[in-house]
Amino acid sequence: MNFADILNALLKTNGADVVGIADLSEITPETRDGLPIGISIGVALDPQVISEIRDGPTRRYYEEYERANNLLDTLGNQATRFIKDQGHQAKWFAATNVDIDSETLSTRLPHKTTATFAGLGWIGKCTLLVTREFGSAIRITTVLTDAELPVNEPVSQSLCGNCTACVNACPGNTISGKDWQAGVPRDFMYDAFACQKTARQIAATQVGIQLTLCGICINVCPWTQKYVTKA
């Protein structure tokens, strides 16, 4: 097995559901900390838990969200240690709440950006990553490195088509309904501040937590429903 195969096996054995490798060289060096390769690691959310989401997050969804984030943190650390042990640079970013600019509610390099470059999926109208296998019922993290790894073909176009399921279901009416393609600004697609406000209100009311957590758009996505139904 080569370096990439061993890394992939390590991550899959320890709980990763998908792993993609991205060439990030076209992104400015400052954004990617001078490291040209991005490893996108995904953990699928429990389909039964996702199917229970109706009018907002449930306690089980909150617990599943935390489980996935904790597992991703473990996987990110494992990948980083493994890569460094081979003599390469590596930097891992936690699955959530990473360097968020409070004035824009954005980060320098969103995990979902690396995921599209790594070919894992596209950005849905609700601006979540959508994958063929799990829909948007997936959490992701990123490891940056200078190791020479075989990269995947990037995804640059949406497969959402005329679907407006997430647009119609959003309790805050935050989604514009416009399709994503690589390079489209997030604000063109949805209002992040309105989403945050609505999600926090719903999470506080239904689960009693102070967290931006909703899940409605995840559940109603037809690609997610395929995953839930198949499971």
Three-state SS for 77? Answer: helix
Q: What is the pLDDT of residue 98?
A: 64
Residues 141-162 have pLDDT tens digits of 999 999 999 999 999 999 999 9
Burial environment of residue 158 by CB neighbours within 10 A (0 to 12, 13 to 18, 19 or more): buried
Rounded mean pLDDT, 163-192: 94
For residue 221, the surrounding DSSP H or E stretch is none
Rounded to 5 degrees, φ, ψ at 194 are -65, -40
Q: What is the pLDDT of residue 113?
A: 95
In percent, the amount of the chain with pLDDT more than 70 equals 99
Q: What is the pLDDT of residue 97?
A: 62
Contacts of 139 (CB under 8 A, 6+ apart): 42, 43, 45, 65, 68, 69, 72, 95, 96
Rounded to 5 degrees, φ, ψ at 90 are -160, 145
Rounded mean pLDDT, 180-190: 92
Which runs of E-coded beta strand occur in the chain?
Answer: 18-23, 37-44, 90-93, 122-123, 129-130, 138-145
Q: How confident is the model at residue 231 (pLDDT cuts 50, 70, 90)?
A: confident
Taking alpha carbons only, the member of 109, 119, 204 closest to residue 155 is 119
Rounded mean pLDDT, 212-219: 96
Q: What is the pLDDT of residue 79?
A: 98
The CA distance from 71 to 19, in Å, is 14
Q: What is the pLDDT of residue 172?
A: 95
pTM: 0.95
- Tokens read off for 200: 């926090």
Q: What is the pLDDT of residue 44?
A: 98
The CA distance from 60 to 47, in Å, is 12
Three-state SS for 166? Answer: helix
Residues 52-108 have pLDDT tens digits of 999 999 999 999 999 999 999 999 999 999 999 999 999 998 877 667 777 787 888
Q: Using the predicted structure, report yes or no on whether residue 22 has a pLDDT greater than 90.
A: yes
Rounded mean pLDDT, 179-198: 93
Q: Which domain holds residue 150?
A: 3-230
The CA distance from 87 to 74, in Å, is 20
Residues 196-211 have pLDDT tens digits of 999 999 999 999 999 9
Average pLDDT across the chain, whole number: 95
Domain count, the chain: 1
- Tokens read off for 53: 């989401």
DSSP, res 127: S
Contacts of 183 (CB under 8 A, 6+ apart): none
